[in-house]
Structure 1
């Protein structure tokens, strides 16, 4: 087993998608933790201290918008790279994500190879 490429917290309320992302990233050499929604993410993020958070937008409890905003505005987590992954592909949604300060925005259905490349690039930036 090679060097860990980075630590990723995968946040999605859909277990199938959460596991799909986690398995792909694990096979690629990332250390992966998961959370089931935004509230779970915020509860776990300081324990996990990921380089990158992949964040679904439409979730119960706390959605991805609120979660991303809280990650960005908390000094302890503001450095973490955030990738929004969502079925919402409208330009307004992309602008909202960029306004919050997310680092990347992928739409479902996403290409696993594209996701891996985005996470790889962001993790490398986070670790440099």
Structure 2
């Protein structure tokens, strides 16, 4: 999409959910590329070069949490903002935080909240790159990159921002 203000890689095994996310983000001027599972995500992420990746948790071949862990372990994608879009059980939130997920959005989600979370992550990612947080740093996670455990309130929680989710994480 020419003139898009960011590129998002949407990873979900449910075609309807992928399309729902795609349409809502494209209506906001974002470019969207999709993948059906974590394995496909890892195959295309370096060609796509997204500003943000959204991940479902339960997917065939490679689930969202293991995909996030692999993205974090690769120096080329270590600083890439990651959002889990799933049922967001307490286990998923804890496991996501442990591997370095930046935001969580509970299904079913409000389209406006989806856009808000993705835009914040794009901004945080750009701020991190401008401050020298490029992916070639093997030890420093970069400024503002991890969500402190106590700041994960529920859907849409992004470190350093106001509470955005009063409707829980289930």
Same fold flag (TM > 0.5): yes
The one-character-per-residue Cα deviations of 1:37-69 (angstroms, maximum 9, x if unpaired) are 000000000000101000000000000010000
Question: In structure 1, how many angstroms separate the alpha carbons of the residues matched to 2:16 and 2:125?
Answer: 27
Unpaired segments ≥5 residues, structure 1: none
Q: Which has the higher contact order (CA 8 A, sep 6+)?
A: 1
Aligned residue number for residue 72 of structure 2: 72
The Cα shift of 1:95 comes to 1.1
Structure with higher Rg: it is 2
Provide TM-score, normalisation by structure 2: 0.71
For residue 90 of structure 1, report the CA deviation from its aligned partner: 2.5
Partner of 1:55: 55
Q: Cα RMSD over matched residues?
A: 1.4
1:116 aligns with 115
C-alpha distance in 1, partners of 2:25/2:32? 7
Secondary structure in 2 matching 1:125: helix
1:97 corresponds to: 96
The match for 2:16 is: 16
User: Which residue in 1 is equivalent to 2:106?
Assistant: 107
Tell me, in whole angstroms, the C-alpha distance in 2 between the residues paired with 1:2 and 1:108: 30
Please state which structure has a larger fraction of its residues in strand. 1
Q: Structure 2 stretches of 5 or more lacking a match?
A: 128-170
